[in-house]
Chain A
Amino acid sequence: AQKVTQAQTEISVVEKEDVTLDCVYETRDTTYYLFWYKQPPSGELVFLIRRNSFDEQNEISGRYSWNFQKSTSSFNFTITASQVVDSAVYFCALSDTGRRALTFGSGTRLQVQP
């Protein structure tokens, strides 16, 4: 069975601080896919990034960066110089190559104070 753990339930930072959201996953598959989604207060789910198990390169997109480490089964997400608009719930998710359904973590609520 697959499992995703986001141990940080809620994080509060002040604007311009850097913040890292942790994600640890469990799977028996050798091929799998990892995702981060953002859920702003309006409720929709916004796709942020996708990473497959073959690609351990870190990725940077503007103020966002992701650190994928197979050795520790982690896929952490860092926001640099956080902004109030980053306030949201962030979900890490894992999918297999079969049914392609997502197994979600419980989410981390990020509050960025002005």
Chain B
Amino acid sequence: NAGVTQTPKFRVLKTGQSMTLLCAQDMNHEYMYWYRQDPGMGLRLIHYSVGEGTTAKGEVPDGYNVSRLKKQNFLLGLESAAPSQTSVYFCASSSPEPNTEAFFGQGTRLTVV
């Protein structure tokens, strides 16, 4: 009973490098989200998806791209990493039913040097 799994858990990148964060959920949820958490700012929405093949921008989308080719997976890409993207990234999934909670992955700590 894995829930939401994020890969990798930690990563150090050099400025300008690219990488992809993988989020996988086994709850058959339609909705998936990527957030970033920075000190003193709570979590902020980067991108989200309301179904396979659909994506949309959140509040802080610049510098990131996403893809939802399969219902259970939501990928977050950084094409050219910048130090400002040093953060903890959380993936979440939820049912479309409004009176339900979101389930979060364990987080990915990314450092860009």
Contacts and interface: CB of A to CB of B under 8 A. Distances in A.
Nearest to B98: A97
Query: How big is the B interface, by class?
Result: 20 to 34
A50 B100 contact: yes
A81 interface: no
Interface stretch (A56-64, A66-74, A100-108): A100-108
Contact of B56 (A9, A99, A107): A99
A47 B41 CA distance: 19
A94 to B, nearest CB: 11
B43 A91 contact: yes
Interface stretch (B61-69, B77-85, B88-96): B88-96
Given A91-B42, A104-B43, A105-B42, A45 B90 contact: yes
A104 B51 CA distance: 23
Interface string B23-60: 00000000101010000111111001010000010100
Given A43-B88, A43-B106, A101 B43 contact: no
Given A35-B101, A101-B58, A106 B41 contact: yes
B107 A44 contact: yes
A100 B94 contact: yes
